[in-house]
Structure 1
């Protein structure tokens, strides 16, 4: 059964963070808060854990459409090609409720890049996932958790999320109620910056 760990953005408990990071290093799968909806993730470099998330979500690994969370802009350039205009835009709006689609480079793990050349990258405006990534030293996968409810697309109550996923993942982080609006997806593979999906972030 998964562990249920309460974490708050203010005064983040580093002992709990280390417990979560240790779980990720061991190939664990976690559920965590972002600035939008709750996400499910693992260490980007652990192929077995990525495949496990695919099983939980019922998708084929080569059909995945995962994004990953970085803790700062310099981290993004380790895995993706970023134009000067894209860098300026991301610097202006991140951390924030955006997923930027960029051309990936050869550091992107094959399990994420075998069916496409682009990657989705997030720096959420929530210190919890960012500090996990910082302490881990690698990005973590982010894929939204969907609800079976006809009214809500995404579950927002961490206790209900735990009830549903307690036998499927290793840790569920309670970071308070989540939102029901996903991130805004921006195509930044060229400098037109087309919005693929309008979500919680707005480009002024």
Structure 2
């Protein structure tokens, strides 16, 4: 049964977020707000939790999972980023963008794409999520909260609890999110002189990066 944490959207109560972080550290899956839609998250280094995350979301190991990072320096620890890629990411960070990059050795092999060795990374702009990441002291492994068999993300915490409370350890309610996933941009070709490729147009505006 999921524990429900209702927090203030601008000044989230840290005592409640610490309880949510403790559940994540024990291997739980949590539903958390982001600057796009709600997301399902778990601890980066917990294989069982990552497997449960994929099961709840209804995806296999070919589906790109995303690392939610606190800032650009943390992002650079988990991806190989050259100067051109860095400038493009910096122009849109923090914000509702997911960047597909070559995974560094810091990313467990089981979490990167099995054939391409890439990973999705982003730095969200949401006070509650940023506070969670700060308390955890590490990135969160995440995927957009789209229930199995559906195509649209959920943005209401009460609805998430009603639908998924038996599968989750925690639901963090900081109010409704935007009901749009992130914009996804593949930057891997840039390392070989190619262009950034728009994979999915979501909430983030691509004009920010000149695309």
- Could you state the TM-score of these two structures normalised by the residue count of structure 2? 0.89
For residues 97-132 of structure 1, the C-alpha deviation after alignment (integer angstroms, 9 at most, x for no partner) is 100010001110122126131110011111222221
Q: Secondary structure at the match of 1:132?
A: helix
Equivalenced residues, count: 202
Q: Secondary structure at the match of 1:90?
A: helix
Question: Is the 2:64–2:113 contact (alpha carbons within 8 Å) kept by the matching residues of 1?
Answer: no
1:160 equivalent in structure 2: 159
Quote the offset at 1:64 in angstroms. Answer: 3.5
Q: Secondary structure at the match of 1:131?
A: helix
Quote the offset at 1:149 in angstroms. Answer: 9.0
Quote the offset at 1:160 in angstroms. Answer: 0.7
Of stretches 140-149 and 47-56 in structure 1, the one that deviates more from structure 2 is: 140-149
Question: Is the 1:42–1:141 contact (alpha carbons within 8 Å) kept by the matching residues of 2?
Answer: yes
User: Counterparts of 2:79 and 2:149 in 1: how far apart (Å)?
Assistant: 36
Quote the offset at 1:63 in angstroms. Answer: 2.9
Quote the offset at 1:13 in angstroms. Answer: 1.0
Question: Is the 2:38–2:145 contact (alpha carbons within 8 Å) kept by the matching residues of 1?
Answer: yes
User: Counterparts of 2:110 and 2:149 in 1: how far apart (Å)?
Assistant: 31
Quote the offset at 1:49 in angstroms. Answer: 0.6
Question: Is the 1:69–1:129 contact (alpha carbons within 8 Å) kept by the matching residues of 2?
Answer: no
Q: Are 2:194 and 1:195 equivalent residues in the alignment?
A: no
User: Counterparts of 1:114 and 1:181 in 2: how far apart (Å)?
Assistant: 24
- Could you state the TM-score of these two structures normalised by the residue count of structure 1? 0.92
Question: Is the 1:30–1:41 contact (alpha carbons within 8 Å) kept by the matching residues of 2?
Answer: yes
User: Counterparts of 1:128 and 1:111 in 2: how far apart (Å)?
Assistant: 28
Quote the offset at 1:156 in angstroms. Answer: 2.0
Q: Is the alpha carbon distance of 1:193 and 1:131 closer, same or farther for their aligned partners in structure 2, counting shifts above 3 Å?
A: same
For residues 17-45 of structure 1, the C-alpha deviation after alignment (integer angstroms, 9 at most, x for no partner) is 21111111111110000011110010111
Quote the offset at 1:190 in angstroms. Answer: 3.1
Q: What is the aligned-residue RMSD (CA, Å)?
A: 1.8
Of stretches 129-138 and 115-124 in structure 1, the one that deviates more from structure 2 is: 129-138
Q: Is the alpha carbon distance of 1:3 and 1:123 closer, same or farther for their aligned partners in structure 2, counting shifts above 3 Å?
A: same
For residues 70-103 of structure 1, the C-alpha deviation after alignment (integer angstroms, 9 at most, x for no partner) is 0100001111011111111221211111000100
